[in-house]
Structure 1
Amino acid sequence: MFADGGEDTGIWHQIFNFDNYGELLGLVQNSLLAGVLLGLVGGLVGVFVITRDLPFAVHGISELSFAGASAALLLGVNIVAGSIAGSLIAAGAIGVLGVRARDRNSVIGIIMPFGLGLGVLFLSLYKGRAANKFGILTGQIIAVSTPQTAWLLGTSVVVLIALALVWRPLTFASVDPEVAEARGVPVRALSLAFMLVLGLAVALCVQIVGALLVLALLVTPAAAAARVTASPLLLPVLSVVFALCAMEGGILLALGSTIPISPYVTTLAFLIYLGCRLATARRATRAPGPALGSPRGTVRTHT
């Protein structure tokens, strides 16, 4: 297509560039640590996002997290704190106002454009570096500072402790809420508590992969794990492994390029999901079918 291949080579050089890779690797130690934290948090929280059917809520919370981070950038205060504040406000509103699924979706549909509009307003008023604006939306890799890492570590510990405390009753309430409520499990309180935990997790992910593509860490790894196992023990383990592979692999691939980190993370997460889906389909085609004339001759299909 190109006579001398120069333009095509230039594009690929921007996407995959490993020149001076060893020197650059020393600059992203904080990012690699942040990637481990996000992979662990995203993988565990994502299990309940899938089980409770909350991917839409993740996107809604991320929009207000974006607004909080943008406001913090405009005011010159800590961006992580602004992102967390926005996420918790959105998560609390969804948890309180959206008890039923229909109400929850309506609340999310109202919060999303409001948060996005506020974020755009704050970024428009911000007169600083354009890279700071772009980083909130699409993520950043080099600019994870030591204070920011401390914020991420502290928030991750809070999320992990909260998950450890409510894991068993939350699992019960997520799988069978009616029976759980009949047995005295505080289903509504757990739902609100998890929404707040989800808000913290979203705020964490926004710092690295950006507000637009946070679903790649909080939904895709858990969805991929759910394709290959239904075990309550193996599901969170695989979800964390997939999230770590996408996060750390994305950081290492994006290190030498001029492209933001988010396309690498989202692509790796999608490829992992696609591989799990293909593996499930192949396993289903190889499974022995029922004998002809069997009263249980029902054909199972996987969608």
Structure 2
Amino acid sequence: MLEYDFMRNAFAAASIVAIVSGSVGYFLVLRGQTFAGHALAHVGFTGATGAFLVGMTPLWGLVLMTVAAGIGMGLLGERLAQRDVAIGIVLALSLGFGLLFLHFYTAFATQATALLFGNVLAVDVGTVWTLLGLGIVSLALLSVISRPLLFASLQPELAEAKGVSLRLYSVLFLAVVALATAECAQIVGVLLVFTLMVGPAAAAQRLTSRVGTGVVLSAALALVEAWAGITLAFYTDWPSSFWITAVSSGVYLATALPRRSGAGHLSRQSIEAVEPLASAVTPPKS
């Protein structure tokens, strides 16, 4: 299987995207913003179609549009009650533009199908290097904001009282999610982003209540699911996106059945561990 260049490129690209999406997805599920990942994927489709119209590479259209939309969502509403409205507004507007771009460029139909459902076996070496660069940037940003982000996610009132800007970290995090979504769309398509962004993270949170372990486990599950999906696609000649989705769903269902005590939510020790983290960013207000 690995004697073919396109298979080596597929495994390399899937590995990069799986690690990034698994890590970012853990915080996405933890913060209850899975709808944001879904919306950003559709926004990315609009960016890709627009990129074709102006002669750009679809991947960069995905990146630019999703990052802009992610920042917009963060600015429009940082509170949980406001997020659905903000995300819905951005999603509706982006889909409208997507339809407009397809109206002007109907020859994009074949490429649009690949973008919607993904085709990891068509990834070339240049795309692998681009994904690696974007992955490094995404993980670097996530590592910088992870501590105050976790504090703001678990205890937002206390974090805000200690001077942590909930809106700032919401904007920064959604920008990271946007980058991860753009990468993930290259592997499973914009319609199946939930496969690698949400499935492994949700399964990891059912298996462990510790944050550090959960992030590593989420990335590991995403990596195994991506590898398994590509391998099954090679030997069955079925779409790789289908297999990745099927494996991810199977793993989540397997973790959901044996409901363990304490799994599925963060332990009190995990919550108490992040309480002093805000002072590392901004000292408490007097």
- If the TM-score is normalised by the length of the shorter chain, which range does it land in? 0.7 to 0.9
Aligned length: 263
CA contact (8 A) 2:40 2:181 kept: yes
CA distance in 2 between partners of 1:125 and 1:257 (Å):
37
Q: Alignment partner for residue 145 of structure 1, among 110, 119, 124?
A: 124
CA distance in 2 between partners of 1:158 and 1:213 (Å):
23
Structure-2 residue corresponding to 1:294: none
Structure 1 length normalisation: TM-score? 0.81
Greater CA radius of gyration, 1 or 2?
A: 1
1:137: how far off? 0.2
CA distance in 1 between partners of 2:78 and 2:261 (Å):
39
Structure-1 residue corresponding to 2:92: 113
Unaligned runs of 5+ in 1: 1-21, 285-303
Structure 2 length normalisation: TM-score? 0.85
The secondary structure found in structure 2 opposite 1:184 is coil
Give the stretch that moved more between structures: 85-94 or 244-253: 244-253
Paired amino acid for 1:31: A
Change (3 A) 1:217 1:123: same
Instruction: Give the share of equivalent positions with the same residue, in percent.
Output: 37
Q: Is 1:202 the equivalent of 2:181?
A: yes
The secondary structure found in structure 1 opposite 2:96 is helix
Q: What per-residue deviation string (whole Å, max 9, x for no partner) do you get for residues 140-189 of structure 1?
A: 12221222112111110100111111111111111111111222323221
Q: What per-residue deviation string (whole Å, max 9, x for no partner) do you get for residues 91-149 of structure 1?
A: 01100002222322012112223323332333343354744221110001222122211
CA distance in 1 between partners of 2:183 and 2:190 (Å):
10
CA contact (8 A) 1:251 1:265 kept: yes
CA distance in 2 between partners of 1:251 and 1:226 (Å):
25
Change (3 A) 1:259 1:76: farther
Query: In the TM superposition, what are the counterparts of 1:1-303 in structure 2 within 5 Å?
Result: 22=1, 25-128=4-107, 130-257=109-236, 259-280=238-259
Paired amino acid for 1:229: T
Paired amino acid for 1:157: I
CA distance in 2 between partners of 1:109 and 1:250 (Å):
32
The secondary structure found in structure 2 opposite 1:162 is helix
CA distance in 2 between partners of 1:258 and 1:221 (Å):
24
CA distance in 2 between partners of 1:236 and 1:39 (Å):
12
Give the stretch that moved more between structures: 130-139 or 49-58: 130-139
Paired amino acid for 2:147: R
CA distance in 1 between partners of 2:2 and 2:187 (Å):
21
Paired amino acid for 2:240: I
CA contact (8 A) 1:138 1:213 kept: yes
1:213: how far off? 0.8
CA distance in 1 between partners of 2:247 and 2:45 (Å):
23
Q: Which has the higher helix share?
A: 2
CA distance in 1 between partners of 2:104 and 2:178 (Å):
26
CA contact (8 A) 1:141 1:260 kept: no
Change (3 A) 1:255 1:132: farther
CA distance in 2 between partners of 1:29 and 1:224 (Å):
28
CA distance in 1 between partners of 2:108 and 2:213 (Å):
44
Change (3 A) 1:45 1:283: closer
1:217: how far off? 1.0
CA contact (8 A) 2:75 2:167 kept: no
Unaligned runs of 5+ in 2: 264-286
Give the stretch that moved more between structures: 274-283 or 187-196: 274-283
